[in-house]
């Protein structure tokens, strides 16, 4: 008669012990990334910035043991494919921080990558052994092998420097600069990656959060609305939500060029479509963003 444990594993299709149930084949990540800021609703919504500002990213990053950690913030514009990395600074108590600029309208994607730094860990242990006046011959051999592996991942002058250091590795060559160079090309196959987050970059005028809602039918015609644009431009930043009937269309103006969606739907309600075009173009000359 099968035991309760055998029945449990057979029903769930698991050939291993009970602790193997619902476990991923991938080993757990050694580095934990928690408390990332800024982040809205677990990344469900993007944060907001205006052109020229910076995004300060902070997180609690830690691992078990005494191994040294390395963390970077990776970011890119949504129209770009290459990522830019900025090293994070340890602020103490497992808290890390870095910031990156946003100098292009649209959305930026950012995330955090953290990993165990083997060479810096070895470097810290070596300094401890040297202070204790211990024999570090074997440690130097291990460090040379790590430098050789890092040189294979590096390119250009960095690769030549690491290769030279690996061939002629002495205790006098070990310093902070060499550790920083080797850490730059650390093995990242087991790195921890946080979810991708987004930040929406608006024009500088969006910082004032001023909105103006206008109903063209209350003013007469679009031609009448066009005449009051200078007054709106002096007092408000955005001209938002110009509506006609129950239908809403979206309009975008970029350097005087018109891009209007659902124009035909609006045209059935507003016969003079040319008035709509002139109104949007007039708004663009006053740097007003008209949303229809």
pLDDT tens-place string over residues 129-152? 998 999 898 999 999 999 999 999
Q: Are residues 220 and 235 in the same domain?
A: yes
**Which range is least confidently modeled, 51-60, 97-106, 229-238, 255-264?**
255-264
Q: Which CA distances in Å does 74 have to 43, 57, 70, 94? A: 16, 10, 13, 19
Q: Are residues 99 and 231 in the same domain?
A: no
CB 122 within 8 A of CB 75: no
> What pLDDT, on a 0 to 100 scale, did the predictor assign at position 157?
92
> What pLDDT, on a 0 to 100 scale, did the predictor assign at position 215?
66
Could you tell me the pTM of the whole model? Answer: 0.67
Q: Are residues 138 and 109 in the same domain?
A: no
Domain contains 168: yes
> What pLDDT, on a 0 to 100 scale, did the predictor assign at position 30?
87
Domain contains 252: yes
> What pLDDT, on a 0 to 100 scale, did the predictor assign at position 231?
65
Q: Are residues 110 and 123 in the same domain?
A: no
Domain contains 195: yes
Residue that finishes a domain, picked among 202, 235, 252: 202
Q: How many domains does the chain have?
A: 3
> What pLDDT, on a 0 to 100 scale, did the predictor assign at position 206?
74
Give 200 or 257, the one with higher predicted confidence: 200
Q: Are residues 32 and 129 in the same domain?
A: no
């Amino acid at each position: 008669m099968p035991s309760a444990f055998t029945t449990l594993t057979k029903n769930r299709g698991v050939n291993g012990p009970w602790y193997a149930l619902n476990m991923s084949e991938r080993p757990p990540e050694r580095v934990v990334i928690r408390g990332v800021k800024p982040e809205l609703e677990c990344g469900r919504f993007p944060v907001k910035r205006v052109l020229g500002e910076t995004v300060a990213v902070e997180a609690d990053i830690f691992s078990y043991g005494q191994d040294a950690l390395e963390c970077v913030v990776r970011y890119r514009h949504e129209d770009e494919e290459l990522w830019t990395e900025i090293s994070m600074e340890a602020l103490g108590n497992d808290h890390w921080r870095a910031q990156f600029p946003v100098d292009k309208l649209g959305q930026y994607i950012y995330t955090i990558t953290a990993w165990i730094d083997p060479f810096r860990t070895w470097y810290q242990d070596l300094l401890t052994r040297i202070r204790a006046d211990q024999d570090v011959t074997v440690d130097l051999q291990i460090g040379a092998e790590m430098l050789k592996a890092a040189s294979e991942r590096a390119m250009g002058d960095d690769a030549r420097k690491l290769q030279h250091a690996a061939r002629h590795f002495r205790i006098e060559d070990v310093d902070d600069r060499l550790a920083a160079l080797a850490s730059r090309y650390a093995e990242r196959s087991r790195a921890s990656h946080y979810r991708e987050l987004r930040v929406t970059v608006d024009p500088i005028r969006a910082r004032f959060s001023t909105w103006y809602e206008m109903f063209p039918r209350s003013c007469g015609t679009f031609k009448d609305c066009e005449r009051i644009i200078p007054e709106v431009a002096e007092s408000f930043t955005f001209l938002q939500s110009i509506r006609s009937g129950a239908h809403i269309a979206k309009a975008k103006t970029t350097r005087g060029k018109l891009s209007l969606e659902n124009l035909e739907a609006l045209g059935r309600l507003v016969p003079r479509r040319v008035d709509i075009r002139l109104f949007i173009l007039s708004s663009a000359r006053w740097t007003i963003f008209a949303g229809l």
